[in-house]
Chain A
C-alpha cells in the first residue's frame, strides 16, 4: 500500500484543482491529482487550434445528431462543432433537473479552465459584507483584506491583463498591460463617465490572457480562438500554467480516469485518511491515502463526493452536520441586456481579434441607493463593425449585394448583464437513489431557480442597458430580458459554504470542512454569496490561501 500514499490528494484538475496542485507541490508535498476524465496534453491535444474555419464541415454549427447527443449544452452557444470533445458525454453522466438547470461540464484534465471566459475580477468588501448587512444566509468568515494579498499572488502568476481604473467597487490588481478599448468603445466610455458623473464606468475587461511573455508562455496573438485550446499558452489554464509549475517540482502525480467515489473518514482521528477511486476505464476500485485532501471537483460534484462519503457518524455525508451541504446553489443570471447601432466611424476599423470586451462594474445599490431588490449586476459587451451576416434591406441579391457584404458594415454596440443570485436555502441538490451513471454512481438531482430578487433586478438590467446605450448616442436600441435559467452562467456556486459557525456552514474561514479539518474545499462550492463578478479569480485566491494554511497546519501537526 506504500505506493498509494501521498502527502496530499487533489480531487479535480480545473482552475482551482490546478492551483491546489501547484501550491502544495511547490511547498514540498508529494501530491496526487485525480481527474475523472481523460488527459488533454497542452498544445498536442488541442486538435482544432489551427483548423481553418472552412475545414469544419458545418462551419462550426451544431448538427441534429449533436443536438440529440447533447440535450443540455445544446441550449446555448456552447454546443458547436469546434471543441465538442471538451464537453461532457451527457449520456454517460446524466443528472436530474427538478427544475431546468443548464449544467455545462468538462470532464478531462484541465476541466473548464480550457473553455472558460477568462474574465477576472476582484471582489470588494461590499461583497464580503453583503450577507451580514442584509441579514440573509450567513456572513462570510473573511473580508477583502484576508484575500487581497492572495489576489495579488494569483494574478501575478496567472497573468491577468487589465487597467488600473481606480474604481472603488472593483479593486485594481497586479495586472499585465491592459488590452485596448476600440475607438467606439472609448468614446462611449467617455460619455458614460461624464453623463453619470463618475458613478458609472465602462472599462476594458480584465482577462486572463497575457499581454507580454510570461512563465514560458507567449503573449496573446489576438486570434480569439481561446476555447479551442491555445497553442501559444496565452490564456490561463491548468495546462498552460499550474500543471507545468506543479510538474516542475517533481512532486506531482497526475492520474486521469479517476472518479473519486468517496472520502475515507477515520472516526478515531476525526480526519479523512484518503479517498476511494473508481478507475473510469477499468471499473476497478483503489484507495489512496494522504494527510490532506483538497476537493476541487466543481460545485455540484464536490458536494456529491461529500454526500457519497456518508458514514454512521455523518449519515448525510461528510460535512453535512450543519444541514447546509448541497444547499444554497447560486450562479449568475444573464441573457438580459441591449444592443444598437452606432453612426459614423466609417473610416475606422479594428485589426486583430481581441479575446476580451468591455466591463461595466456594478453601480446599483451602492452609496446609499436602495432599489426594490438587493445587490447588483455588471455588464460585459463590445462594439464592432457588422459583418456579412448583417441585413441590407435596400439590396437583395446579386453582384452589388455580394460586394457590399464583402466589406464591413456599420458599427454596433451590445452589452449583456451578469446579475447576483442570492443564496437561497431552497436552491439545492441531492443524490438520486435510483438513477445511476455509467459507473453505477448515484446522479445529482438539482432543484434551483431564480426568484423574486433576481427577477426584479432583471428589469433594471434590461432598462439600464438600453438607457445607457441611448444616452451615449447608440441608435435603434433593442433590449431583451430572456428567461433566466440557473446554470446558464456556468458559475455554479455555494453547495458547501464557508461560514463562522459549524452549525450553519460546511467550511470554516480557511475552507476546511468543519467535520474533517484535513479536507479543504476551494472550488465554487465554498462560496457564501455570489456577488456579480466572474468568480474564478476568487477561487484561485481562496485555493492558494487554503493551501498555505494546510501546509502550515501540517507543520504544526494540527491536521
Chain B
C-alpha cells in the first residue's frame, strides 16, 4: 500500500477492517503473553489448512491447502495480532471444533466436505451478523479472523498470485481501457 492506495478506501473487507492493522491497538506493549507456538504443531496446522481449504477449495485452480495457508495463519496470529486477538483466535479453534461436534457429532477433521461447508457457511453468517453490530472495542469474532487470514494468505501466496490470478511483475506499459471478459482472472497486484 502506498499513499494513493491509502487515499482510495475502496476495499470492503470481510468484517469491515483488517484485524491486526489498527493503528493504536493495545498490542504495542512489550512482548506477547500469549503462547502461540501450539498453532504450529502438526495437528493444528492440518486443522487450519482444512478449514482454509473449505473456505477456498481446489477448483480449476489450487486451493488454500495447496498454498499452505494454515502456516500463514499461524505466522500472522503469532507476529501481527495483538494479545486479545491471539486469545480469541486460539479459543476459536476449540469453538469451531465444538460447533462441529454439536451439529454433526463428529470432529471437523472427520467431518465430510458437505458438513464442513455447512458448518463454515453458518459460522460465516454468524461472524457477518456479529461484525455488523459490534462495538469498536468489543472482541473480534474468531471466524472473521479465520476468513480474513485465509483470503489474505491465499491470494497473496505464490499459488494465489500466479494460478488463481494473473501475475505481471513488470507490466512495462499502462492501458486504462483494456478489454475484459467474464472469466478472465484478476491481476494479482494493485
Residues of A within 8 A of B (CB): 50, 52-54, 57-65, 67-68, 71, 74-77, 80, 117, 179-183, 185-186, 221-224, 226-227, 334, 337, 339, 346-354, 356-357, 380-382, 384-391, 393, 396-399, 401-403, 405-408, 412-416, 478, 480
Contact = CB atoms under 8 A, between A and B. Distances in A.
B108 interface: no
Contacts of A67: 25, 27-28
Nearest to A340: B10
Nearest to A406: B164
Contacts of B27: 64, 67
Contacts of A389: 11-13, 151-152, 155
28 contacts: A52-B158, A57-B79, A61-B20, A64-B27, A64-B80, A67-B27, A74-B23, A76-B6, A181-B176, A182-B176, A185-B176, A221-B170, A222-B174, A223-B171, A339-B8, A347-B181, A349-B178, A350-B174, A351-B171, A357-B8, A384-B190, A387-B155, A389-B13, A396-B121, A402-B56, A407-B182, A407-B186, A413-B10
Contacts of A388: 151, 155, 165, 186
Interface in B16-34: 20-21, 23-25, 27-30, 32
Nearest to B181: A347
B40 to A, nearest CB: 13
Contact of A398 (B12, B54, B168): B54
Given A397-B117, A402-B56, A402-B164, A416 B7 contact: yes
A391 B12 contact: yes
Instruction: Find the residue from A226, A407, A415 having the highest chain B CB count within 10 A.
Output: A407
B136 interface: no
Contacts of A351: 171, 173-175, 178
A346 B183 CA distance: 11
A364 to B, nearest CB: 19
Contact of A77 (B2, B151, B171): B2
B55 A397 contact: yes
Q: Is the interface of A mostly helix, strand, loop or mixed?
A: loop
Contacts of A405: 56, 151, 155
A348 B156 contact: no
Contacts, number: 228
Given A54-B161, A397-B120, A352 B54 contact: no
Given A180-B176, A405-B155, A407-B186, A480 B9 contact: yes
Contacts of B182: 346, 407
A348 B79 contact: no
Nearest to A65: B79
Contact of B7 (A75, A408, A414): A414
Instruction: Find the residue from A53, A412, A413 having the highest chain B CB count within 10 A.
Output: A53
A378 to B, nearest CB: 12
B69 to A, nearest CB: 12
B116 to A, nearest CB: 9
Contacts of B186: 385, 387-388, 406-408
B59 interface: yes
A350 B190 CA distance: 10
A453 B44 CA distance: 56
Given A75-B23, A354-B174, A397-B117, 5 more contacts: A54-B156, A351-B171, A357-B7, A381-B4, A397-B124
Contacts of A64: 27-28, 32, 79-82
B42 interface: no
A250 to B, nearest CB: 35
Given A380-B7, A407-B184, A354 B28 contact: no
B50 to A, nearest CB: 13
Contacts of B9: 337, 339, 414, 478, 480
Contact of B178 (A59, A348, A387, A393): A348
Contacts of A381: 4, 7-8
A550 B101 CA distance: 80
A403 B185 CA distance: 9
A439 B145 CA distance: 43
Contacts of A71: 28
Contacts of A180: 174-176
Contacts of A185: 176
Instruction: Find the residue from B32, B79, B158 having the highest chain A CB count within 10 A.
Output: B79
Contacts of B174: 179-180, 222, 350-354
Contact of B124 (A350, A396, A399): A396
A105 to B, nearest CB: 16
Contacts of A182: 176-177
A322 B30 CA distance: 45
Contact of A58 (B5, B75, B172): B75
Contacts of A117: 2-4
A386 B12 contact: yes
B156 to A, nearest CB: 4
